[in-house]
Chains A and B, each alone.
Chain A
Amino acid sequence: MIKSELVQHIATQNPHLYQRDVENIVNAILNEIVAALARGDRVELRGFGAFSVKHRPARTGRNPRTGAHVSVEKKSVPFFKTGKEMRERLNKDSPG
């Protein structure tokens, strides 16, 4: 499923809304999550999962082809941890 399909599914279930409104709603949700992560905040959605930012310190890497040393700057990466309920739903048929 891609974003436009998600918007369409929601629009069919809410005939009183324009597709454009649903698009704005989906984008508002995603933008809010992105903005929070950009501030370094965490986003916790019970039953779904949690988004957070992990910080990677600067390090000296190697070019795997030439073996040359290259310095890699410190960076931050987004991280997602699946929620408990989601984990259980993905494995309903096989307990454990």
Chain B
Amino acid sequence: MPAQTITRADLCEAVYQKVGLSRTESAALVELVLKEITDCLERGETVKLSSFGSFVIRKKGERIGRNPKTGKEVPISPRRVMVFKPSAILKQRINSAEGHSGDQS
């Protein structure tokens, strides 16, 4: 069984099925949830979602990188990156389900 890709549409469908809202409103709420999380991260705040995981912003200082094709050294500007730390529960869920599906790697 090939791995499937879940998108916004599937999340909207899940919300639609579980909560008595219209499809349009379900879609708007999925969007709003993502927007709230994004806005928070943009301010540099951590977002902790219990039993799921947390999104953390890390600041990276300037460093020297190398263009792998030309071998030329280029400075990499300081930047902010977002890291997802999965909760123990999420990690456990992923491993307990792995028994049934034969993984290829």
Q: How far is the CA of A75 from the CA of B92 in the complex (A)?
A: 10
Q: How far is the CA of A68 from the CA of B77 in the complex (A)?
A: 42
Asked whether A6 lies within 8 Å of B42 as measured between CB atoms, the reply is: no
Number of interface residues of B (CB under 8 A): 57
Asked whether B90 lies within 8 Å of A78 as measured between CB atoms, the reply is: yes
Closest residue of chain A to B58, judged by CB?
A90
Task: Report chain B residues within 8 Å CB of A40.
Answer: 3, 97-98, 101, 103
Asked whether A28 lies within 8 Å of B7 as measured between CB atoms, the reply is: no
Asked whether B29 lies within 8 Å of A10 as measured between CB atoms, the reply is: yes
Asked whether B86 lies within 8 Å of A33 as measured between CB atoms, the reply is: no
Task: Report chain A residues within 8 Å CB of B105.
Answer: 55, 57
Asked whether B3 lies within 8 Å of A6 as measured between CB atoms, the reply is: no
Task: Report chain B residues within 8 Å CB of A47.
Answer: 34, 38
Asked whether B11 lies within 8 Å of A42 as measured between CB atoms, the reply is: no
Asked whether A33 lies within 8 Å of B11 as measured between CB atoms, the reply is: yes
Min CB distance B54 to A, Å, is 9
Q: Residue B93 at the A interface, CB < 8 A?
A: yes
Min CB distance B26 to A, Å, is 8
Q: How far is the CA of A91 from the CA of B60 in the complex (A)?
A: 11
Closest residue of chain B to A79, judged by CB?
B84
Asked whether A76 lies within 8 Å of B98 as measured between CB atoms, the reply is: yes
Which of A38, A49, A94 interacts with B79 by CB under 8 Å?
A: A94
